[in-house]
Amino acid sequence: MKLHEITDNPGARKNRFRIGRGIGSGKGKTGGRGGKGQTARSGVRIKGFEGGQMPLHRRLPKRGFRNTPFALKFNEVNLDRLQAAIDAGRLDPKAMIDTEALIKAGVLNRAKDGVRLLGSGELKAKVDIVVFGASKSARAAVEKAGGSVKVLAPKREESKEPKGKNALAALAKDGKSKSGKTAGEKSKGDQSEQTA
């Protein structure tokens, strides 16, 4: 036997079926792609569909954390809605305005996890408001009108140590600007003093 006489098993190598060569061939006209539409086009397929096989994005394990089931849902109320309710006589500006008062006045349909006060619009009445959270502009507008805002949300404790590369870089830059030397240069100077 010679090298050019070596062949594969019978039937192992088949000729490619030539589609689109006449209706009589059985794969003419549409060429096995069916009718018109998305599935008749090349490249564009139903995203992730693998012919009934479990698709790749469902075979892979889930990773990471999503806060969706634990996230608090708030009612957002702007200052102009408060003022409209006060002008209509549904809210009493002399009484404390909280979630229950807003629901009775029809400003809110139901109490979710709390109310966030936002600063869109203008508030003329002097009111005392109890909310879960308030934007800076909303708080400033209420205090400007002579009222007060009590925030129920706990204050976030700011960590003493800076987090993230930008904060660390800013801290290093600040340290260098004060002393004129970086932390690395200081340590080198200290070592040279010790050796001397």
CATH number, domain containing residue 105: 3.100.10.10
Confidence check: pLDDT of 131 > 80: yes
146: left (phi over 0), alpha (psi -120 to 50) or beta: left
Within a domain: 133 = yes
Confidence check: pLDDT of 183 > 50: no
pLDDT of residue 2: 94
pLDDT of residue 88: 94
Confidence check: pLDDT of 117 > 60: yes
Within a domain: 98 = yes
Confidence check: pLDDT of 87 > 90: yes
CA-to-CA distance for 133 and 126, rounded, in angstroms?
19
Tokens linked to 27: 């794969």
Within a domain: 170 = no
Burial of 130 (0-12, 13-18, 19+ CB in 10 A): middle
Mean pLDDT over each residue of the chain, to the nearest integer = 86
pLDDT of residue 174: 80
For 125, the domain range is 75-151
The proportion of the chain whose per-residue pLDDT surpasses 90, expressed as a percent, equals 62
Within a domain: 139 = yes
Within a domain: 185 = no
| Beta-ladder partners of 128 | 148
Confidence check: pLDDT of 41 > 90: no
The DSSP output letter for 107 is: S
pLDDT of residue 178: 64
CA-to-CA distance for 167 and 186, rounded, in angstroms?
20
pLDDT of residue 179: 60
User: What single-letter amino acid sits at 52?
Assistant: G
Domains of the chain: total: 1
Within a domain: 33 = no
The average pLDDT across 127-146 equals 94
Within a domain: 100 = yes
The average pLDDT across 127-138 equals 95
pLDDT of residue 169: 84
Confidence check: pLDDT of 193 > 70: no
| 163 alpha-carbon distance from chain centroid | 20
Within a domain: 24 = no
Cβ-Cβ contacts under 8 Å for 150 (sequence gap 6 or more): 128, 129, 130, 131
